[in-house]
């Protein structure tokens, strides 16, 4: 299994209201779910990107393009690691 990770820089931010607290909780839950899924990965592809909020879908094309470019660059490593 190939797992793709878009690492996000950890930033300390001050929650100003209940919405901020809920948003931070959702982000933390997403990170923990990702960590759990990574345990079974045959290959982990980390894609360096700009720092974008978890719920910001306006950058989906940007992430798709970055993922495509990085996967092409790492294709030989991926194939070797999962023994096709």
Residue-wise pLDDT for 32-60, tens only, equals: 887 777 777 778 788 777 777 656 788 88
pLDDT at residue 81 tops 80:
no
Overall pTM > 0.95:
no
pLDDT at residue 78 tops 70:
yes
C-alpha distances out from residue 56 to 7, 23, 27, 80, 82, Å: 15, 12, 12, 34, 32
Instruction: Using pLDDT thresholds of 50, 70 and 90, give the confidence band for residue 23.
Output: confident
């Amino acid at each position: 299994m190939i797992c793709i990770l878009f690492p996000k820089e950890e930033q300390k931010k001050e929650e100003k209201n209940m919405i901020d607290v809920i948003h931070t909780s959702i982000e933390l839950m997403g990170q923990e779910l990702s960590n759990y899924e990574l345990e079974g990965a045959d290959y982990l592809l980390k894609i360096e990107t700009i720092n974008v909020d978890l719920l910001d879908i306006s950058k989906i094309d940007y992430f798709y393009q970055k993922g495509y470019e990085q996967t092409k660059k790492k294709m030989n490593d991926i194939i070797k690691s999962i023994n096709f």
